[in-house]
Amino acid sequence: MGVEKPLLPPKNGLLVPKLVPVAHDVLDAWKIVIQGVSQLLHVIPVHACSECSEVYVGQAAHYIQDCQGATSAKRRNFHSWVKGSINDVLIPIDSYHLFDPFGPRVIHETRFAYDRIPALVELCIQAGVDIPGYPSRRRTVPIRMLGKKVIERGGSVEPPEQQCSPDAASMLEFDTYRTHERFSSPLELEVPGIAQKTIEAYERVKIGLKKLMKKYTVKACGYCSEVHVGPWGHNAKLCGEFKHQWRDGKHGWQDAIVDEVLPPNYVWHVEDPKGPPLRTALKRFYGKAPAVVELCLQAGAQIPAKYKPMMRVDIVVPDKEETHLAA
């Protein structure tokens, strides 16, 4: 209708001052989570299926026959277990780093000109955190929009040359790359304290992400796990999920939720880690929990009450011979 659209921060390109400390707190807590999970993996083993996405936290892998991998029929749906890593506990979700989120969109031909960093870190950068080597444009004059069209971006600004490489230490502490080598095994007396510190930091990350995502726009594909931080999704034709030919490989963007930026990756809850392995016959009596929560629980942490219903801690698991007697 030819009427300029009034915009408030951060929709107009300006920072929200009260959310800058929140972004710093999220990154500080995220570093604690990465370090804590890396140290606990030296003590609590994690198993991952080589054929599907199943993950199990515990000493002995379970015998539940629910594998949907390519060769699962030959194994009667038993999982093919291998040693898991931190990426099985903290699923890496990357996105493009943009110097100016309101600048030109990422297209398929220019996708290699942008660095890929964790989406959580990119969100904090756009919310006011400065990380060397990953600059971000800080506007002092808001952008102007007419409907959905940007009519004034405040001029075009070229991104400064990177002062350090993308693999520098500034980003290494926010990434899960080779953390098994960077963090050594803790002492036995330190394990419960590390587990408690890790689960508290994990909750801080989730609470901080929820606050940031109420203001800053994060897009997620409705078909695959791609996430983009910015007012509009990118145009790279990388989606290969359901009927991607109809969309020419483009993603189906929609507003993201916290679980898409930080996937919980639910695993079976083990009531007794030293007991018999979980079996298919008793599957309906078992509960589940996020992999980080289950890892910290087995290491001796006190779990928040909100996870106990999904873990089904109030249900007594019967013996295998008593299954037909249970309601």
pLDDT tens digit string along 104-121? 899 999 999 999 999 999
Tokens in use for 327? 């309601």
Check residue 314 and give its pLDDT: 81
The model's pLDDT over 197-208, given as tens digits with 9 standing for 90+, comes to: 999 999 999 999
- What number is the average pLDDT over the span 303-318? 87
- 281 pLDDT band, cuts 50/70/90, is confident
* 47 contacts 68 by C-beta, under 8 angstroms: no
pLDDT band at 166 (very low <50, low <70, confident <90, very high): very low
The per-residue pLDDT of the chain, averaged, comes to 90
Q: Indicate the range of 49-63, 136-150, 158-172, 217-231 predicted with least confidence.
A: 158-172
* Mean pLDDT score, 50-72: 92
Give me the residue label for tokens 């290969």. 240
Integer CA distances (angstroms), 131 to 109, 126, 136, 204, in order: 27, 11, 9, 20
Do the beta carbons of residue 304 and residue 198 sit within 8 Å? no
Position 164 pLDDT exceeds 60:
no
**Residue 230, pLDDT score:** 92
pTM to 2 decimal places: 0.91
Tell me the one-letter amino acid at 197.
Answer: K
